[in-house]
Amino acid sequence: AQSVTQPDIHITVSEGASLELRCNYSYGATPYLFWYVQSPGQGLQLLLKYFSGDTLVQGIKGFEAEFKRSQSSFNLRKPSVHWSDAAEYFCAVGARIQGAQKLVFGQGTRLTINP
Amino acid sequence: DAGVIQSPRHEVTEMGQEVTLRCKPISGHNSLFWYRQTMMRGLELLIYFNNNVPIDDSGMPEDRFSAKMPNASFSTLKIQPSEPRDSAVYFCASSFSGTVGNTIYFGEGSWLTVV
């Protein structure tokens, strides 16, 4: 069965500092991997996704993620965070079943930004 | 383009009452998902449909929960009777399943409180 682990429940960084959020997945086939962001009281917005090709993918808001098959990881990075990046971040793996693709999410990492 | 539209956005109801949550997917999308988000369990997939047909409802917690998709532009999630432990945010999401690595788009959520 597919699963996603986000080891860090809560991370605090200073504004302007670099950021890396960890994500490990378990999936038997080639994974489709996603990062979503959720601001308080809002739905989930897609930051970026990987399904083939270049293992370093660029997303919105200056985020990037690198797929490492050997480590079963898909870590999210940003070189310099802004106060507006404070939110909850979810990693997800897509599993295709009977013509439809469902997402299995990790528990999420809450990001706090210190001024 | 309109995104996934959910109603109501907020609902407070008494234990034992029937609750109906509604969802209008993005036009042209043929997969629809219902997720539940709680602090304790994170984001759980309850049920998903492909071309209006339920594919997997193994995430539906109990017989008190039911979901329907009578046509491509409308779905409901019903809880009858509701219980306090059903208090959560319920997200509807949709996607087009015809492409590899397709993005799943989320609505803003329905915030349910059962007292």
A32 inside 8 A of chain B by CB: yes
* Percent over 90 (pLDDT), chain B: 82
Question: What pLDDT does residue B23 have?
Answer: 98
Q: How confident is the model at residue A102 (pLDDT cuts 50, 70, 90)?
A: confident
In chain A, which residues have their Cβ closer than 8 Å to the Cβ of B4? 43
* pLDDT, tens digit, 9 for 90 and up, residues B2-31: 899 999 999 999 999 999 999 999 999 999
pLDDT at A35 over 70: yes
Asked whether the predicted pLDDT for residue B62 surpasses 90, the reply is: no
Q: Is the pLDDT of residue A71 over 70?
A: yes
pLDDT for res A29 = 76
A104 close to B (CB below 8 A): yes
pLDDT score for A10: 96
CA A13 – CA B17 distance, rounded (Å): 44
Closest Cα in chain A, distance from residue B107 (Å): 6
For residue A20, give the amino acid letter: E
**A67 bridge partner residues:** A74
Confidence (pLDDT) at B60: 94
Q: Is B42 on the interface with A (CB under 8 A)?
A: yes
Which chain B residue's Cα is nearest to A108?
B42
Q: Torsions phi, psi of A95, nearest 5?
A: -125, 130
Nearest residue on chain A to B34, alpha-carbon basis: A102
Q: Name the pairing type of β-strands A10-14 and A109-114.
A: parallel
**A104 vs B contacts (CB less than 8 Å):** 45
Q: Are A88 and A111 in contact (CB under 8 A)?
A: yes
Chain A residues close to B95, C-beta within 8 Å: 101
